């Protein structure tokens, strides 16, 4: 187990990051902004002008699968039916009830008053950090984490307790136990239970039970990020929140299954925490997103969502299987990779002679993009140097074939 102090770490783990932008003369910024570096994704976007680039980099849904007709009809009905949809409004109650029904399908029992609608999962994570974490406080998470989570906590300059992850069974719960039994009391444990970003793994049922048992015993909340929970390709296991309704603060999202631009997600929390989170949300955006909340609710009420979701799952599963086959066929001997049961991401660990950050520019020139593994490492960790994260949801099958052939060539020529 390792302890990393963000205060003393120089910043992003991906070399060579350009220096932080110089603030205007005379403008005095908060101290944490001195650690800000452009993310690897911003750097990649800045040199990706090629029209024929195949990108496995960003975790985007397939745009051709967006339920455009159903959403257009729902938007029309909402706009014509009630101009209040464009008004300042608190969270739309019917949508909370629909979220409760969706949660029941995930095996979670909750009530509308335990639900806070948020500006998607990203804001949910920000609000939870805002109410749980003091500046300089401690967070327990994995060494390789969702980049957006690093951005959520960086302004708190936290002390990070980083634990490893097994590609088949998820977070190292033994290491979590050692930290807690050694007396550590982090503000929260961050966990992506299913379809882990970037690792593509899911937490095993046994580890789920142990993690919530540890959280409850040591009175440490778990922030469960379930952004990919509904995108399952095998029989799903219930999320942590199904096992504990006190210590697990659950985050859900419509981004991956409806449309990210709706910016719609939710938190399921103990009832008494919801008004506190609501105040934090008011401070962020006056608790607003009335229009997309109403359109999503209207769309869900129209009954088309289950069929849409089944179609998305089927197509993504096809793309996942195609990419897994091509990883076996095209990538060097000794490559390890995850087989995701959920989500949109595969983690690929190449033999140690490869440095995927150094290789990225060559790969982009050859017309294929990925995210180097080191971009996901918490500050101070060297994890992910020979690894890459590949997305399988965005590209259509012919592009997946072409992109994987290019990647295979680059690795053969440089390995």
- Positions in the binding site for ligand PLP (CB under 6 A): 59, 120-122, 146, 148, 192, 197, 225, 227, 253, 255, 260, 265
From residue 190, how far is each of 5, 139, 150, 187 by CA, in Å? 17, 8, 11, 10
Minimum CB separation of residue 205 from ligand PLP in Å reads 20
By C-alpha distance, which of 264, 266, 147, 265 is closest to 199?
Answer: 147
Which helix or strand (DSSP H or E) is residue 414 part of? helix 397-414
Which is nearer to ligand PLP, 265 or 373 (by Cβ)? 265
- CB 249 → ligand PLP: shortest distance, Å? 14
Q: How far is the CB of 260 from ligand PLP (least distance, A)?
A: 5
Quick one: 146 or 370, whose CB is closer to ligand PLP?
146
Residue 23: CB minimum distance to ligand PLP, A? 28
Closest to ligand PLP by CB, 120 or 363: 120
Please work out, in degrees rounded to the nearest 5, the angle formed at the alpha carbon of residue 386 by the alpha carbons of 384 and 390: 75
Residue 120 vs 300, nearer CB to ligand PLP: 120
- Asked if 387 contacts 346 with a C-beta cutoff of 8 angstroms, the reply is no
Residue 408 beta carbon to ligand PLP: minimum distance, rounded to whole angstroms: 26
- In the bound complex, what is the minimum distance in angstroms from residue 146's beta carbon to ligand PLP? 4
Q: Report the 10 Å Cβ neighbour count for 267.
A: 26
* Residue 366 or 375 having the CB closest to ligand PLP: 375
| Cα(311)–Cα(341) distance, integer angstroms | 16
CB 169 within 8 A of CB 201: yes
The burial class, CB within 10 Å (0-12 / 13-18 / 19+), for 372 is buried
CB of 343 to ligand PLP, least distance (A): 8
- In the bound state with ligand PLP, the residue whose beta carbon lies nearer, of 216 and 284, is 284
Residue with tokens 């350009």, as numbered in its chain: 18
Nearest to 276 by CA among 116, 43, 92: 116
Burial class (CB in 10 A: 0-12, 13-18, 19+), 363: buried
d(CA 131, CA 274): 11
Please, what is the minimum distance in Å from the beta carbon of residue 366 to ligand PLP?
26
* Residue closer to ligand PLP (CB basis): 125 or 331: 125
Cβ contact 400:323 at 8 Å: yes
DSSP-derived letter for residue 168 is: T
Considering beta carbons, is residue 197 or 386 the nearer one to ligand PLP? 197
């Amino acid at each position: 187990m390792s302890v990393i102090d963000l205060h003393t770490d120089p910043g992003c783990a991906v070399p060579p990051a350009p220096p932080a932008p110089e603030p205007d003369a005379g403008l005095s910024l908060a101290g944490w902004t001195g650690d800000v570096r452009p993310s690897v994704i911003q750097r990649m976007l800045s040199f990706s002008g090629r029209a024929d680039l195949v990108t496995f980099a960003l975790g985007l849904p397939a745009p051709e699968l967006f339920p455009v007709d159903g959403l257009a009809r729902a938007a029309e009905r909402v706009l014509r039916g009630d101009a209040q949809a464009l008004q300042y409004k608190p969270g739309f109650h019917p949508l909370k009830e629909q979220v409760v029904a969706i949660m029941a399908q995930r095996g979670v029992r909750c009530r509308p008053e335990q639900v806070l609608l948020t500006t998607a999962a990203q804001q949910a994570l920000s609000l939870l950090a805002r109410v749980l974490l003091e500046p300089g406080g401690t967070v327990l998470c994995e060494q390789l984490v969702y980049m957006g989570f690093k951005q959520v906590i960086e302004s708190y300059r936290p002390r990070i307790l980083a634990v490893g992850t097994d590609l088949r069974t998820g977070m190292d719960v033994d290491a979590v136990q050692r930290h807690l039994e050694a007396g550590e009391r982090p503000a929260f444990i961050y966990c992506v239970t299913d379809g882990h970003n970037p690792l593509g793994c899911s937490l095993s049922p046994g580890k789920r039970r142990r993690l919530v048992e540890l959280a409850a015993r040591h009175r440490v909340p778990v922030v469960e990020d379930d952004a990919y929970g509904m995108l399952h390709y095998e029989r799903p296991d219930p999320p942590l929140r199904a096992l504990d309704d006190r210590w697990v603060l659950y985050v859900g999202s419509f981004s991956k299954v409806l449309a990210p631009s709706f910016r719609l997600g939710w938190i399921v929390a103990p009832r008494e925490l919801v008004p506190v989170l609501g105040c934090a949300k008011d401070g962020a955006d006056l608790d607003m997103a009335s229009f997309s909340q109403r359109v999503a609710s209207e769309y869900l009420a129209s009954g088309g969502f289950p069929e849409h979701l089944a179609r998305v799952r089927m197509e993504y599963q096809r793309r996942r299987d195609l990419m897994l086959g091509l990883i076996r066929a095209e990538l060097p001997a000794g490559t390890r990779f995850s087989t995701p049961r959920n989500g949109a991401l595969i983690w690929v660990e190449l033999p140690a002679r490869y440095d995927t950050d150094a290789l990225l520019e060559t790969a982009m020139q050859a017309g294929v993009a990925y995210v180097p593994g080191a971009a996901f490492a918490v500050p101070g960790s060297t994890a992910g140097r020979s690894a890459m994260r590949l997305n399988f949801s965005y590209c259509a099958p012919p592009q997946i074939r072409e992109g994987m052939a290019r990647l295979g060539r680059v690795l053969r020529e440089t390995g």
